[in-house]
Amino acid sequence: MKQAIDETKLEVKPKYNYANMITLMNLSMGCFSLLCVFGNEYTLAAGFILLGTLLDRLDGKVARKLDIVSELGKELDSLADLVSFGVAPAILMWSLSLNGIYMYGSAITIIYILSGAYRLARFNVTKTVNYYIGVPITIAGGIMAVAALLSIRHNVSPYLTALLTLSLSYTMVTTNIKVLKR
C-alpha cells in the first residue's frame, strides 16, 4: 500500500513549481475551451485545446530538464490532461455535431471521456520505457480539435464524427497499439 506524502515536508523552491505551473496552464486551456463551447465560440475552443497540447509537451520537458519529476506532477498532469484532452474535446464535438444523433451522441461523448480517464489511469500505474500503450490522450484530443475545426468549416456528418470519436476511444484503451516515446 502506498503511503501518503506529508505535504508539510515538501520543499517550496520555485524550481519545483515550474513544470506544475505549465501543467496548470494546460488545465486552464481546457477550462477556457469549455467556456468557449458554452459561448458557441467553437474555433476558439479548438484553439485552446491545441494550445494545451503544446503546454502538455512542455511541462514534461521542463520537469525532466530540471530533474524535478515528481508523483505530484504526474498526478496533476493526468488531471489536467483529462480536462484538456478528454472532457473539452468531447464536449466540443458533442456541441458541434454529436448532439445531432441524440442519445447515441451523448453515449459516444461519455465513452470518449471514460476511455481517456482509463487510459490516463493505466499510464500512471504501468511502467514502460520506450513506448506508450495505446494512443496518448493528448494526441487523441489534438485530433479531435483538428476534426472540430474541419467540422466547423465543412459541416461534417455527425455519423462521421461519431466514428472518429469511437475510433479514438478505442485507440486510447487498446493494448494492441504501442506508440514510441520521443
pLDDT in tens, 26-74: 999 999 999 999 999 999 999 999 999 999 999 989 988 888 888 888 9
The 3-state DSSP class for residue 171 equals: helix
For residues 82 and 141, give the distance between their C-alpha atoms in angstroms, rounded to a whole number: 9
Cα distances (angstroms) measured from residue 131 to each of 77, 120, 177: 18, 14, 10
Map out the domains of the chain as residue ranges.
11-180
Percentage with pLDDT > 70 across the chain: 91
Query: Which homologous superfamily does the CATH classification assign to the domain defined by 11-180?
Result: CDP-alcohol phosphotransferase transmembrane (TM) domain (1.20.120.1760)
Q: Which three cell numbers stand for residue 72?
A: 505530484
Q: What is the pTM of this model?
A: 0.90
